[in-house]
Amino acid sequence: MDIGFIGLGNMGHAIVENMLKAGHQVRVWNRTRERAQPLAALGAQIVAEPAQAFTGDAVFSMLADDAAIVEVIDDALLDRAPRDLVHVNMATVSVDLAQALARDHAARGIHYVAAPVMGRPDVAAAGKLTIMAAGPAEAVDRVQPLFDVIGQKTFRIGSLPQHANVIKLAANFALAAAIETLGEAASLLAGHGVAMNDYLDVITSSVFPGPVYAGYGKLIAEQRYEPAMFKARLGLKDVRLALAAAEATSTPMPLGSLLRDNLLEVMARGDGEKDFAVLGEVAARRAGR
């Protein structure tokens, strides 16, 4: 397939690599052109502007936040895009923006699919992402072969793109809550001279198996927050988006408010570029350790 791809952060870079390995033609655009150079060596075509990527059979985008998406995927770009194109937005965005993008695309005859993912860059590199896809069924069908290349499973959430984004925000909120509890547990253990790794051996072999407790628990145990696989500042963005979605429906999320404040403390100390697991450091400071 002839694919455009906009946004080559760690996740986007890994996804494009897998598309190229599967034999697809991929045109790539990134604000910082240097990020795209390694992909050119693998066969990607680097284009000078987003509109050149916004053509072909489908275009994927994975930009950092709402502001970046609004700046790049604006009315002028959509006006120039070919009709019947499928745009797959893999970014974690606000519910309001997801609704606005779906409306703006439909008005121009462009298919909009929200497809946020679960998985860090190493999971993306392995082609094992979990994809939550929502949008017109025909459009999802057209890009499903690409989802099969980059992910291990695609969950179809329905026809409303924003529903995929709500699930992603709820999932990232639960992830943040798990990291917070791991950090607080680590402080409790330290206060009694118990090794965090002994605790992790117990819980990950019984009640809490899986990559979240094992992976983030290990980072907290080792106080290893750099290099970041998922930056704390992006975690703060997602918690804020979850709280905004909750407020829109008068849904209390007291734990979400706590997580926001703890992540603001991370930012205030200049640690926003560190891994999300740095929440463990906040808990340790609070305990005087």
**Residues labelled as active-site residues:** 168
Among 208, 206, 182, CA closest to 196: 182
Residue 88 forms beta bridges with which residues? 60, 113
Give the C-alpha distances (Å, rounded to integers) separating 159 from 27, 103, 146, 164, 170. Answer: 28, 13, 19, 9, 19
Identify the three-state secondary structure at position 69.
helix
Q: Which residues pair with 2 in a beta bridge?
A: 25
Q: Which sign, positive or negative, has the C-alpha torsion 10, 16, 17, 22?
A: positive
The answer to whether the CB of 183 falls within 8 A of the CB of 284 is yes
Q: Which residues contact 136 (CB under 8 A, 6 or more apart)?
A: 111, 113, 159
Helix or strand run (H / E) with residue 86:
strand 86-89
Give 81's DSSP letter.
S
247 CB neighbour count, 10 Å cutoff: 12
Rounded to 5°, angle at Cα 12 from 140 and 159: 20
